[in-house]
Amino acid sequence: MSKVLIVGAGALGQVFGLWLAAAGARVSYLVRPGWESWEGASLYRLRRGRAPVSERIVPYEVISEPRREQWDMVWLCVDSPALRGEWTRALRAAAGAATVVTIGQDPGDLSTLARVWPQEQIVQVTPTLLAYQAPLEREVPAPGVAYWVPPGSAAGVTGARAPQVVAALQAGGVRAKRVTRAGAGELAAARMIPYIAELEASGWRLPASSTRLRGATASVREAVAVVSAQHGLRAPVSVPSWAVGLALRVLPWLLPFNLRSYLETHFTKVSAQTRLMLDGWIAEGAARTLPVGHLSALRDSLPA
């Protein structure tokens, strides 16, 4: 039986723990001091037009200090700012040769972790699911974590040890695939986060005005160009602002949860990560003499 340590018992940490436990792993959690008595939680897999599927994550163990053990995998299910903390070095000493899995997609996440762990131990997973503390309204029968996996989607897994992580997720019933192209996760973030920042700046109004969407689309183009330059890629074609506006009008009718409430609740919680990403693209773009004017204006529009 494999031993997995998940850092962070937030919504995504609980869902990945559920999947890895379903694959037969012994799943433990590393949490903040004071949360050692956490005994698990109810999870609800959302389905459009049907009642959610009730599930439960029960951790094997909950600790607040990293303990040296023969971990097979350590999953870092925390936001990007947290990865900059000195706690990662204590975890490195305890984790030994374990595969280190990060779900972070900030441009600096992998280089930050590579200063702590050998590059060959690090695997990046780009999640496709949406997970949050529920209920937002009345979509679940009782408090817990709700999550939704878009039909047909598959988590992208990058790194030398990606096959191990792909196999573990697939054994837990999750669609996952190895991605060999570097920068895939960062490109996904560059295509999305500027729109999130624009929605935050406009008070989470859906749909956003066409003028603001055009500005966000220009910011996306700049962010994508920066990430592409970092990884030596040709910048992909951007989605036009009218298509994004159409998606924001249609999606609320297709999703099994309130999109506006989800976006405001989740991305307000991780607002420091949004700002970290914007600052990273601006700094990297300026260093490479790439245009970052729209990104800078977007960053300035966000509240402190």
Angle, helices 293-301/271-287, rounded to nearest 10 degrees:
150
7-53: pLDDT as tens digits: 999 999 999 999 999 999 999 999 999 999 999 999 999 999 999 99
182-209: pLDDT as tens digits: 899 999 999 999 999 999 999 998 877 7
114-158: pLDDT as tens digits: 999 999 999 999 999 999 999 999 999 999 999 999 999 999 999
The residues, any chain, with a CB within 8 Å of residue 206's CB and separated by 6 or more, are 199, 248, 249, 252, 259, 260, 263
Fold of 3-178: Rossmann fold (3.40.50)
- Whether cis (ω within 30° of 0) applies to the bond prior to 52 is no
Average predicted confidence (pLDDT) for the chain: 95
Tokens linked to 194: 């500027």
- Whether cis (ω within 30° of 0) applies to the bond prior to 143 is no
Q: Distance (Å, rounded) from C-alpha 144 to C-alpha 54?
A: 10
Spell out the domain ranges in the chain: 3-178, 184-301
pLDDT at 209: 77
250-268: pLDDT as tens digits: 999 999 999 999 999 999 9
The CA-based dihedral angle spanning residues 243, 248, 249, 251, taken in that order and rounded to the nearest 10 degrees: 110
**Chain centroid offset of residue 237 CA:** 23
Mark 243-257 as b/e (b = at least 16 C-beta within 10 Å): ebbeebeeeeeebbb
Tokens linked to 59: 């951790």
Q: Strand 26-30 to strand 61-63: parallel, antiparallel, or no bridges (unpaired)?
A: parallel
User: In this structure, how many other beta carbons lie within 10 angstroms of the beta carbon of residue 137?
Assistant: 9
In terms of phi and psi (left: phi > 0; alpha: psi -120 to 50; beta: otherwise), the region of 224 is alpha
